Chain A
Amino acid sequence: MTLLFTQSFTGVSIGAVLLLIALGLSLTFGQMGVINMAHGEFIMAGAYTVYVVQKGISGAGTSLFVALPVAFLVAGAMGVLLEWLLIRRLYARPLDTLLVTWGVSLVLQQLARDIFGAPNVQTAAPSWLTGAVPLPGDLALPASRLFILILALAAIGALAATMRLTPLGRRIRAVVQNRDLAKVSGIPTATVDRLTFFIGSGLAGVAGVALTLVGPIGPAMGTNLIIDAFLVVVAGGIGRLRGAVITAFALGLLQAVFEYATTVSTAKVLVLAGVVLYLQWRPQGLFTLRTRSLA
C-alpha cells in the first residue's frame, strides 16, 4: 500500500513534467501546426543549464533558483532562433517541420555530446530536497518529487494567467482561433508566433531543470520524453489546456501504476497501447472539417 502510494505520487510528478513539456508542444502545434521534434533538446538545454550554473555557483539551492529563469531564457531563445531560421519557412508543411526539426535535434544532441561529453552528468540537489516530507499514517512524499509538482503547477498557473489576463495571451488565442482574421485585425501574427515559440520552448527548459532533480543529464534525455509528450498532445486535444492537463496526469499515473503491477517496459507498452485505444474510442475524431471547401 505504501509502495503503491509512493508510486502513484511518482506518477503524478512524472505527469507534471510531461505536462510542462506537452504544454509547449501543444501551444506551437495548436497555433502554428508545427510539430517540433527538437523540443526534447530544449529540455536537455534546460538540464545542462543547471549543470553549467552549478559550476559557477556552488550552493545547490541558490544555483537551482538561478538556473530556473536562466533555463527558461536559454531554451526560449533556442526556440525563437529555430522558429526564425527554419520553421517560419515551413508553416504550410507541418509534416516537413517534423522531419526538419528532427534533423535539428540530431545536431543539438551531437553539440551537447561535443561540449559536455557523451556520458551522463549529475548535478547536486539541495539538501532540503533530498529527504522526504512525512504525512499522517505511515506515508511520506519524496521532497524532490513534491518540489517538481509545485514547480510544474506554478509554471502552468503562470501560463494560464498569461493566456487569460495579458494582451499577449489574448493575441495568442486570437491567432489560434482565426489566423487570418487576427492578421487583418492588426495583430502582428509573426511576432505572436515567435513569442509563442519562446514561451513554449522556455517551458521545456523549466522541465529540464525539474528533471535534474530526479535523474542524470545526458544528450539523449529529450528523445525519451518527446514521444510521451506528443501522445499527451494528441490524446488531450490540440491547443486545449484542460485536455493536456488531464491526459498528462493520467499518463503519468497509468505508467506508475502499471510499473507497480508489471515491469517498466511492459508498463510503457501498456500506456502506449492505451493511448491508441483511447483514440479509437474518442467520439469526436481529431479534426474539424470546413465544409465550403475541401482544399
Chain B
Amino acid sequence: MNISPRLRAPAGFAVAAALLFLAAPLVLSDFRLGLLAKYLCWAIVALGIGLAWGRGGMLTLGQGLFFGLGGYAMAMHLKLADAGDGKLPDFMTLYGSGTELPWWWEPFRSPVFALAMVLVVPMAVAAVIGLAVFRRRVRGAYFAILSQALCAAFAIWLVGQQTSTGGTNGLTDIQGFFGYDLGDPKNQRMVYFIIAAVLLALMIGVRQLYVSRYGELLVAVRDSEERVRFLGYDPALVKLGAYVLAAGMAGIAGALFVPAVGIMSPALIGVVPSIEFLIGAAIGGRASLPGVVLGAVAVAWARSSLSEQFPSGWTYVQGLIFIVAVAFLPGGLASLKKYVVRRPASVETPAQPARKPAAEEVPA
C-alpha cells in the first residue's frame, strides 16, 4: 500500500462509493440490499456518534431520541400521504376516539414541512438540551445518564400516546414514499441508493470537520475542557456544535430508516437501541471515520445473520464483543491498523503540518 497520505482519503471514498453503488447492488439480492439499507441508516447515526463521542468526548447514550424525532417526522408525513387527502392514518381510525387529526399532525401533510422537521426538530431539541447541559458543565457520566434518561422519557411518552403516535406499535405499514410505491423492488433500490448517497455525503462532510480547525479544537475540548476555557473559548459552544450535528445526522438516519424498513416505533429508539447504536462505533474505533461506519455495518450484519440462526447466542456474542472491545481495545479495530500497516514517519512532511490519518488519533 503505497498511497501518499494526501490521496488516502479520496481513495478511501472512491472505494466506498464503488462498493456502495456498484458492488452491493450487483452482488446482493433485493432482500439483502434492503437489509444493507437499514444498516447504512445505523451507520449514519454512528457517524454522528463518532463526532460527538469519539472526537468530542460526549457519550451520547440517547441518540435514539433524535433518530426517533427524525423518523417520526418522516413517518407521520408518509402515513398521511398513504391515507390520502383529508383522511386519517389507519391506526387513528382503529384506536382513535374521533375523526379529527391532532393539530400537530396537520402541518406534516406538507412534504416540505416534514422534510424540514426531520432536520430542524432533532437539531433544535439537541441545541436546547446541549445549551442547558453544557453550560452547567454537566459532562462525563452525568451527561451520559441524562441523555439516556431523556431518550427513555421520549420512548415512554410515545408508548403512552396510543391514539396520536400509534403507541407501542408505532407507525407501521408504510406504503409509499413521495409518490413511489415501496412495495416495488425498483423503488426499494432507489431508497437504498438515496441512503447510500446521503451516507457518503455525510462522511465527506464529517471528514472535512475532522481535518478542520474545529476538529482539532473539539479534540482539545475532549481532552481538557478547562484548558480550552483559559484560552478564551467557550467549550460549551464547541461541544454544542458537535452534539447538534450528531443529532441532525441521527434525525436524517431515522427519516431514511422509515422508507427502508416501512416502520417507526418506540422499540427502535429506546434505551437499548440507543446503546446498540454505540456498539458499532466502539468496536470499529470511536474516533476513526471509517471505523465507526464499518463497525456499525459489521455489527448490524452480524446481529441479523447470527440471530437468524442462534437467537439467544447472539445476545451473548454482542455482550461479549462489547465487553472485550471497550475494555481491552478502546481504540476499536481501527487502532489495530498501526500494527498491520507500517505508519509513515511523522517527519515526512515537515513544512506542511499535515494531519495524520484519522485512525492514529484514536485516544489511548
Contact = CB atoms under 8 A, between A and B. Distances in A.
Interface stretch (A2-10, A103-111, A155-163, A240-248): A103-111
A89 interface: yes
Interface stretch (B104-112, B154-162, B175-183): B154-162
Interface in A261-286: 263-266, 268-269, 272-273, 275-276, 279-280, 282, 285-286
A263 B320 CA distance: 38
A273 B140 contact: no
Contacts of A109: 315
A184 interface: no
Interface in A135-160: none
Given A96-B327, A100-B326, A276-B132, A223 B316 contact: no
A234 B145 contact: yes
A263 B160 contact: yes
Contacts of A280: 132, 136
B157 A266 contact: yes
B315 A294 contact: no
A86 B320 CA distance: 12
Nearest to B61: A98
Given A104-B319, A276-B146, A99 B160 contact: no
Contact of B327 (A89, A113, A285, A286): A89
A113 B313 CA distance: 11
A106 B326 CA distance: 14
Given A99-B278, A102-B322, A110-B315, A294 B141 contact: no
Interface in A41-85: none
Contacts of A231: 145, 149
A107 B316 contact: yes
Given A230-B145, A272-B150, A294-B224, A94 B140 contact: yes
Nearest to A89: B327
Given A107-B315, A223-B271, A286-B142, A99 B322 contact: yes
A95 B149 contact: no
Nearest to A223: B271
Contact of B157 (A35, A103, A269, A287): A269
Contacts of B282: 99
Given A95-B140, A231-B145, A286-B142, A107 B319 contact: yes
A170 interface: no
Interface residues on A, range: 35 or more
A90 B132 contact: no
Contacts of A165: none
A122 to B, nearest CB: 23
Main secondary structure of the interface of B (DSSP, over half): helix
B352 interface: no
A33 B326 CA distance: 17
Contacts of A90: 327
Contacts of B292: none
A35 B141 CA distance: 7
The size class of the interface chain B forms with chain A is 35 or more
B136 A285 contact: yes
Interface in B300-345: 312, 315-316, 318-323, 326-327, 330
B141 A94 contact: yes
A1 interface: no
A289 B139 CA distance: 13
Interface string A202-238: 0000000000000000000001000100110010000
A235 B320 CA distance: 32
Contact of B330 (A33, A93, A289): A93
Contacts of B137: 285-287
B138 interface: yes
Nearest to B323: A103
B220 interface: no
B26 interface: no
A230 B319 contact: no
A238 B219 CA distance: 27
A268 B136 contact: no
B34 to A, nearest CB: 27
A273 B156 CA distance: 13
Given A29-B141, A265-B157, A98 B59 contact: yes
24 contacts: A35-B145, A95-B59, A96-B327, A100-B327, A103-B320, A106-B318, A106-B319, A107-B316, A107-B320, A110-B315, A227-B148, A234-B142, A234-B146, A263-B160, A265-B157, A266-B160, A268-B153, A273-B153, A279-B138, A280-B132, A285-B137, A286-B136, A287-B139, A294-B227
Interface of A: 29, 33, 35, 86, 89-90, 93-96, 98-100, 102-107, 109-110, 113-114, 223, 227, 230-231, 234, 263-266, 268-269, 272-273, 275-276, 279-280, 282, 285-287, 289, 294-295
Given A95-B141, A286-B142, 12 more contacts: A35-B141, A86-B323, A99-B326, A100-B323, A109-B315, A110-B315, A227-B149, A230-B145, A230-B149, A234-B146, A294-B226, A295-B224
Interface of B: 59, 61, 129, 132-133, 136-142, 144-146, 148-150, 152-154, 156-157, 159-161, 224, 226-227, 271-272, 275, 278, 282, 312, 315-316, 318-323, 326-327, 330
